[in-house]
């Protein structure tokens, strides 16, 4: 099989791989299980996630990406290599061209680390694209038009808020408050309110099933099991959606304040476009119940959750590489036509 162009959403919580002509081929947690004795990787993705909090002392399950950037270079490189091989499924005769997205607020050093890790993992050529641009393309927004579009991409480690026009970002901010912070806030709340310590996976289950940013008309509840901090014994308690709203309020407010801040810095013509077209929300964090309603209540602008919100960035990254490689091939064909004309003359 020849090199397949691919787009990778290198997320703090999950890795999504898009292959040209095939669409999304892989979506797995960005978790790696390592044997500390000999530094070998035992499992990646979903297999490694099942080990979180359940491993013996010599095995550690880690997330090599933190707040949208690489925190462990070597492990990220090995994880990427494993995911690329898993996505393709057979040996490649030619190394692929890979587009990878990064948060809009990354430094040049962090950007270079992503590029180097991707190249070491097996890429022939690496293209870097900012997450809000990729999210906008994946959500079906025509970013090339002279119209203002606002994207709020809430991932695992970062929330990127950007106003896009004519193919570029006019105003953008990257906030290190996102899905992982929601989980941490739930763990803290359970410890403080109920004296119960719950794990990362239990917190995520609470967030997905009964988490809320806006008061529900019909409250829901869920049983969760943890360790009682006083007795040290396992304990099951019932948690309500109202409690989840209280637990998540601080993180949610930080995101809404960032949206408000970006709107304040937006030129008036583009702000008028956004008021007409609405705010587009992408990323797994945008699926938190009522977050779109709360943004609309606080800003007065309609908020729309994109279709396939979780995959938007990966789809946009994949489409970007198709466009980038397509435009370069058309330029090359144009140059060859010019050469033929000169030789004919």
DSSP-based three-state secondary structure for 296: helix
Q: Helix %, strand %, coil % for the chain, to 5? A: 45, 25, 30
Distance between CA atoms of 190 and 210, rounded to whole angstroms? 14
Pick 282 or 86 by higher pLDDT: 282
Question: What's the half-sphere exposure (Cβ side, CA atoms, 13 Å) at 232?
Answer: 0
| Helices 291-299 and 241-265, packing angle to 10 deg | 40
Would residue 255 count as lying in a domain? no
Q: Look at residue 253 and tell me if it is in a domain.
A: no
Region 157-184 average pLDDT: 93
Q: Are 163 and 184 in contact (CB under 8 A)?
A: no
Asked if residue 54 belongs to a domain, the reply is yes
Q: Pull the structure tokens for residue 137.
A: 């393309």
- Residue 167 to residue 132: CA distance in whole angstroms: 11
- Residue 326 inside a domain? The answer is yes
Residues 296 and 318 in one domain: no
Claim to verify: residue 48 and residue 97 sit in the same structural domain: yes
Q: Whose CA is closest to 132, among 175, 164, 177, 98?
A: 164
pLDDT over 90 for what percent of the chain?
Answer: 57
**What pLDDT, in 10s, does the model give residues 300-338?**
999 999 998 998 999 999 888 877 665 544 444 444 444
Give the whole-angstrom CA distance, residue 324 versus residue 330.
Answer: 10
State which of 12-21, 41-50, 293-302 shows the largest mean pLDDT. Answer: 293-302
Q: Any idea what the Cα angle at residue 308 is, between residues 305 and 310, rounded to 5°?
A: 90
- For residue 201, tell me if it sits in a domain: yes
> Do 210 and 76 fall into the same domain?
no
Domain assignment present for residue 100? The answer is yes
pLDDT of residue 94: 79
- Among candidates 77, 92, 93, 101, which has minimal Cα distance to 17? 101
Domain total of the chain: 3
Statement to judge: residues 102 and 151 lie in one domain: no
For residue 88, the model assigns a pLDDT of 81
Q: Cα–Cα distance between 87 and 159 in angstroms, integer?
A: 27
Whether residue 106 is found in the same domain as residue 194:
no
Cα dihedral value 56, 57, 61, 62, nearest 10: 170
- HSE-CB at 168 with a 13 A cutoff on CA atoms is 1
The stretch 191-213 carries a mean pLDDT of 94
Answer yes or no: is 342 within a domain: no
List the domain range (segments joined by +) for residue 322: 6-136+311-336
Q: Are residues 131 and 218 in the same domain?
A: no
The verdict on residue 11 lying in a domain is: yes
Tell me the average pLDDT of the chain: 88
Beta-carbon count within 10 A of 239 CB:
24
Q: What is the CATH number of the domain that holds 270?
A: 3.30.420.40
Q: What is the mean pLDDT of residues 250-276?
A: 96
Query: With contact defined as beta carbons under 8 Å apart, do 200 and 184 qualify?
Result: no
**Is the pLDDT assigned to residue 86 strictly greater than 60?**
yes
């Amino acid at each position: 099989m020849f090199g397949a162009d691919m787009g990778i959403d290198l997320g703090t919580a999950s890795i999504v791989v898009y292959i040209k002509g095939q669409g999304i081929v892989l979506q797995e947690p960005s978790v790696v299980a390592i044997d500390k004795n000999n530094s070998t990787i035992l499992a990646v993705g979903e297999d490694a996630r099942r080990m979180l909090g359940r491993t013996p002392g010599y095995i550690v399950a880690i997330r090599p990406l933190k707040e949208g950037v690489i925190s462990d270079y070597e492990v990220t490189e090995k994880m990427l290599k494993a995911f690329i091989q898993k996505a393709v499924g057979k040996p490649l005769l030619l190394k692929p061209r890979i587009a990878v997205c990064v948060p809009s607020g990354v430094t040049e050093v962090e950007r270079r680390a992503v590029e180097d890790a991707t190249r070491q993992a097996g890429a022939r050529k690496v293209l870097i694209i900012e997450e809000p641009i990729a999210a906008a393309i994946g959500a079906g927004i025509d970013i090339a038009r002279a119209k203002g579009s606002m994207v709020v991409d809430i991932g695992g480690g970062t929330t990127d808020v950007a106003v896009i026009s004519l193919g570029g970002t006019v105003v953008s901010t990257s906030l290190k408050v996102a899905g992982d912070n929601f989980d941490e806030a739930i763990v803290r709340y359970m410890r403080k309110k109920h004296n119960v310590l719950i794990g990362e996976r239990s917190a995520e289950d609470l967030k997905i099933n009964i988490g809320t940013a806006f008061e529900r008309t019909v409250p829901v509840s869920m049983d969760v099991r943890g360790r009682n901090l006083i007795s040290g014994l396992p304990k099951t308690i019932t948690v309500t959606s109202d409690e989840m709203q209280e637990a998540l309020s601080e993180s949610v407010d930080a995101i809404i304040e960032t949206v408000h801040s970006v709107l304040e810095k937006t030129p008036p013509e583009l702000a008028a476009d956004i008021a007409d077209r609405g705010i587009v929300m992408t990323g797994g964090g945008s699926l938190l119940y009522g977050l779109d309603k709360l943004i609309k209540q606080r800003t007065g602008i309609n908020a729309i959750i994109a279709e396939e919100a979780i995959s938007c960035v990966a789809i946009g990254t994949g489409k970007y590489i198709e466009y980038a490689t397509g435009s370069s091939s058309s330029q090359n064909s144009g140059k060859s036509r010019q050469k033929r004309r000169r030789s004919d003359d």
